[in-house]
Amino acid sequence: MNKTGTLYLSLIMLCVAMIACTCSTPSVVPTERPTQAATQTPTVTPEPTLAGPSLGDTQTRPADGMVMVYVPAGEFRMGSTDQEVDEALRTCNELSGDCRRGWFENEQPAHGVVVDSFWIDQTEVTNRQYQQCVEAGACDPPPKNPSKGSFADPHYDDDAYTNHPVIYMNPQLAGAYCKWAGGRLPTEAEWEYAARGPEAFIYPWGNAFDGARLNYCDVNCASSRKDSEHDDGYAGTAPVGSYLNGASWCGALDMAGNMEELVEDWYGPYSPEVAVNPQGPSSGHENVLRGGTYAYSQESVRSSSRRPSKAGTTSYFIGFRCVLPAPTETPMPAGTPIPTPRDELMPTPLALGEVNAVAFSPGGETLAVGTATGVSLYSSNLSEQIWSYTSDAPVFSVAWSPDGKTLASGTSDDAVTLWNAQTGEILQTFEGDTDWLRSIAWSPDGGTIAVGSGASVVLWNAATGEPLQTLGEDLSILTYSVAWSPDGSTIASGDAYGRVLLWDAHTGERLNILTLHDHTAEINSLAWSPDGSVLASGGGLLDGDVILWDTTAGKRLRTLHAYDVASVGGVAWSPDGLTIAVAAAEPSANKLIILWDAGTGKRLNTLEVHTAGINSLAWSPDGTTLASGSSDGTVVLSQIGEQLPSVP
């Protein structure tokens, strides 16, 4: 049976960048960050010391005194999913009852985007800052529009509004200012990345709306669609930086509400393809506005919300901020492995059917392969088949005993078979309490086998074949993966609802449930770091993320976002714990293995060595070779290259 999932286009992670500047005391420095920001840059293993800025660092722009915050290069999901659009429509109708779904569909399709590092203004440009450009002769004063009643005067030359955002802007006026200040307007992708971050939050601070974090259409708003339960303190614009607890993941303020903000792109539809530094259409008749205003209700201040505006139009709702690219490439950490795949498939087609599982023996001499037609044992370089057994049901999992003498295989007809690894003789078969078996894990002492089957995890005595205990028999949710911690204290299981469950291996007590994966995605793969400090979980259909967990605290350490991977087919740690390999499951156009730096979460390299989805990965014990098994019926060995010398 094929593992589910889809895969988008392959992309290469772009390097983080740095830029130096003359700094002075910032005029606006947030003293509070949203709670989510604290989870963005934990250290899983010690990171190398590299020169250059990091997430949320600030610098002051000499031209106008604007504080800028640093946004490192990265990947995120741009735009809105169907579920997010449905939720925006529901919220809108709760306020007025006359909303249409088409109002939000210009945020679709959701798609993967990679952006280079950059600096972005911490706040919208203020009246006083814009006055400096006018006084320098580089900018024209903002126009006024008397037809707009009390809001016609943008307060540009009113001393009471010097720290309010400048308004009545258009791309020409804003672009001239950014050029004078040494930067440019942000692209739409840069703006949304600075607002949402790698987690693609719905609002800058997270996924739950909070009226205390922004200036929007609250009780002070004249609209019938106002939110009468909140009072943000302002009927019009607010001074920039008034809502420190509304900061985005990088520390940018006022990215929701207050003023709509111009971006550099022309307005146009999104493409479903993964994009690298997208810049929108090459021409157009409409500009793009982002972020919403003080007169917009909550569904229109989401970070994915976008509005077209006739080219050149000025309005009392339109302001802007600038960005400064950071193009200097940061050196790669010393010791990073660079994979060089050998073009060495299994010798001529062996009619294996799809390969569901691969596993190196503890000594590295042999490689076990589970397929749609049975289980086989090969020499570690695939040059010799040692023994093979044809089964009536697909083999979904293979696992070695710690001493390397016994191989366990599990089939979809609910049976676990133990094999004499040397002779291929069947030692015993476990049957009776399993149901749709998908995963097997040995205890580190070799005495117990954990089997993920049906809606539970069954523990078996490896010597006698007796069932010992059933974990989670009351959950009624299919178990897709099982992994035993290296110290033998904890068993992790992943289910069909995107949950990772932690169990006490001795008592069977459920310790925790980790739930940051998509709830509709099964957890296809689990892998503990060699020292047992971190658990990696890979999401299934349309999830495509690998989350690294601190299982002691029950907290997410980091998410490895692979927007060209819609379903994870396998996750494997290198024996030294420095590298994580992630495989894309089928179906997809490009079948990928992505290598990540486990300590920094940076993408190291991408291998394309199969013609169909990849269902399993295994590192050789010496860390020099990565084996992958695919639905294309092959096993591929990818040779990992030499360690890099230190980079000055």
For 77-99, how does the pLDDT look when each residue is reduced to its tens digit (9 = 90+)? 999 999 999 999 999 998 877 88
Percent of the chain with pLDDT over 70: 81
Alpha-carbon 131 to chain mean position? 41
Between CA 79 and CA 108 the distance in angstroms is 6
Query: Model confidence at 642, in pLDDT bands (50, 70, 90)?
Result: very low
Q: Which stretches does DSSP call E strand in 486-522?
A: 490-495, 500-504, 510-514
Tokens at residue 50, please?
A: 């590299």
Is 432 in a helix, a strand, or coil? coil
Q: Is residue 348 part of a domain?
A: no
Is 160 in a helix, a strand, or coil? helix
Between CA 635 and CA 648 the distance in angstroms is 38
Using alpha carbons, select from 500, 596, 486 the residue that is nearest to residue 539.
500
Does the pLDDT of residue 443 top 90, yes or no?
yes
Q: Is residue 44 part of a domain?
A: no
For residues 130 and 232, membership in a common domain is answered with yes
Q: Which residue has the tokens 């920039």?
A: 240
Q: What is the per-residue pLDDT for 476? A: 58
For residues 632 and 484, membership in a common domain is answered with yes
For residues 437 and 498, membership in a common domain is answered with yes
The average pLDDT across 100-110 equals 93
Average pLDDT over the chain, rounded to an integer = 81
* Residue 551, phi-psi category: left (phi > 0), alpha (psi -120 to 50), beta (remainder): alpha
Q: What is the per-residue pLDDT for 432? A: 56
Verify cis geometry, omega within 30 degrees of 0, for the bond prior to 109.
Answer: yes
Cβ pair 621, 363 in contact under 8 A: yes
**pLDDT for 479-488, tens place per residue?**
889 999 999 9
Lowest-confidence region among 30-39, 121-130, 442-451, 511-520? 30-39
Between CA 335 and CA 578 the distance in angstroms is 9
Q: Beta-carbon neighbour count of residue 82 at 10 Å?
A: 12
DSSP label at 203?
A: B
Between CA 194 and CA 520 the distance in angstroms is 27
For residues 305 and 372, membership in a common domain is answered with no
Q: Which stretches does DSSP call E strand in 327-402?
A: 328-329, 337-345, 355-360, 366-371, 374-379, 385-390, 395-400
Between CA 205 and CA 213 the distance in angstroms is 8
**pLDDT for 452-463, tens place per residue?**
877 778 899 999
Q: Beta-carbon neighbour count of residue 83 at 10 Å?
A: 11
Between CA 447 and CA 505 the distance in angstroms is 12
Structural domain boundaries, residue 516: 354-643
Q: Give the angle subtended at the CA of 480 by the CAs of 478 and 482, to the nearest 5°.
A: 120
**pLDDT for 125-137, tens place per residue?**
999 999 999 999 9
Q: Domain boundary residue among 273, 293, 328?
A: 328
Q: Is residue 12 part of a domain?
A: no
For residues 324 and 359, membership in a common domain is answered with no
Q: Which residue has the tokens 């749609």?
A: 372
Helix, strand, coil shares, percent, the chain, to 5: 10, 35, 55
Does the pLDDT of residue 550 top 70, yes or no?
yes
Q: Is residue 43 part of a domain?
A: no
Q: Is residue 10 part of a domain?
A: no
Phi, psi at 193, each rounded to 5°: -65, -40
* Residue 342, phi-psi category: left (phi > 0), alpha (psi -120 to 50), beta (remainder): beta
| Residues 6+ positions from 304 with CB-CB distance below 8 Å | 78, 79, 80, 84, 107, 192, 196, 202
Between CA 255 and CA 203 the distance in angstroms is 9
**pLDDT for 484-542, tens place per residue?**
999 999 999 988 888 899 999 999 999 998 887 766 678 889 999 999 999 999 887 66
CA atoms within 13 A on the CB side of 263: 28
For residues 368 and 319, membership in a common domain is answered with no
Q: Give the angle subtended at the CA of 237 by the CAs of 232 and 242, to the nearest 5°.
A: 55
Cα Rg of the chain (Å, integer): 28
The average pLDDT across 381-386 equals 89
Query: Model confidence at 53, in pLDDT bands (50, 70, 90)?
Result: confident
Give me the CATH number covering residue 295.
3.90.1580.10
Using alpha carbons, select from 645, 602, 559, 607 the residue that is nearest to residue 17.
602
Q: Which residue has the higher pLDDT, 421 or 155?
A: 421
Query: Model confidence at 119, in pLDDT bands (50, 70, 90)?
Result: very high
* Residue 124, phi-psi category: left (phi > 0), alpha (psi -120 to 50), beta (remainder): beta
Q: Domain boundary residue among 267, 294, 328?
A: 328
Lowest-confidence region among 3-12, 90-99, 298-307, 534-543? 3-12
Q: Give the angle subtended at the CA of 633 by the CAs of 424 and 355, to the nearest 5°.
A: 55
Cβ pair 248, 240 in contact under 8 A: no
Q: Which residue has the tokens 């015993």?
A: 428
Lowest-confidence region among 50-59, 145-154, 194-203, 511-520? 145-154
Query: Model confidence at 153, in pLDDT bands (50, 70, 90)?
Result: low
Domains: count for the chain: 2
Give me the CATH number covering residue 572.
2.130.10.10
* Residue 436, phi-psi category: left (phi > 0), alpha (psi -120 to 50), beta (remainder): left
Does the pLDDT of residue 340 top 60, yes or no?
no
For residues 313 and 369, membership in a common domain is answered with no
Q: What is the per-residue pLDDT for 75? A: 86
Kind plus residue range of the DSSP H or E element containing 466 = none
For residues 302 and 392, membership in a common domain is answered with no
Cβ pair 118, 190 in contact under 8 A: yes
For residues 560 and 442, membership in a common domain is answered with yes
DSSP label at 206?
A: B
Q: What dihedral angle (degrees, nearest 10) is formed by the CA atoms of 643, 602, 362, 479?
A: -170
Measure Cα distances from 342 to 200, 348, 634, 636, 639 in Å.
36, 15, 14, 8, 6
Phi, psi at 86, each rounded to 5°: -60, -40
For residues 288 and 371, membership in a common domain is answered with no
Kind plus residue range of the DSSP H or E element containing 129 = helix 127-135
Strand partners, 626: 619, 638
Measured in residues, the chain has a length of 648
What is the full DSSP assignment across 255-291?
Answer: -SBSSEEEEEEEP-PPPSS-EES----SS-SEEEEES
Q: What is the per-residue pLDDT for 332? A: 36
For residues 358 and 323, membership in a common domain is answered with no
Q: Is residue 16 part of a domain?
A: no
Does the pLDDT of residue 145 top 80, yes or no?
no
DSSP label at 193?
A: H
What is this structure's pTM? 0.54
Measure Cα distances from 31 to 86, 206, 241, 253 in Å.
35, 18, 11, 12
Cβ pair 516, 558 in contact under 8 A: no
Q: Is residue 101 part of a domain?
A: yes
Q: Domain boundary residue among 294, 328, 362?
A: 328
For residues 320 and 361, membership in a common domain is answered with no
Between CA 116 and CA 441 the distance in angstroms is 41
Q: Beta-carbon neighbour count of residue 87 at 10 Å?
A: 17
Q: What is the per-residue pLDDT for 591? A: 74
Kind plus residue range of the DSSP H or E element containing 85 = helix 82-95
Using alpha carbons, select from 85, 82, 81, 110 the residue that is nearest to residue 100.
85
Q: Give the angle subtended at the CA of 317 by the CAs of 186 and 164, to the nearest 5°.
A: 80
Q: Is residue 30 part of a domain?
A: no
Q: Beta-carbon neighbour count of residue 91 at 10 Å?
A: 16
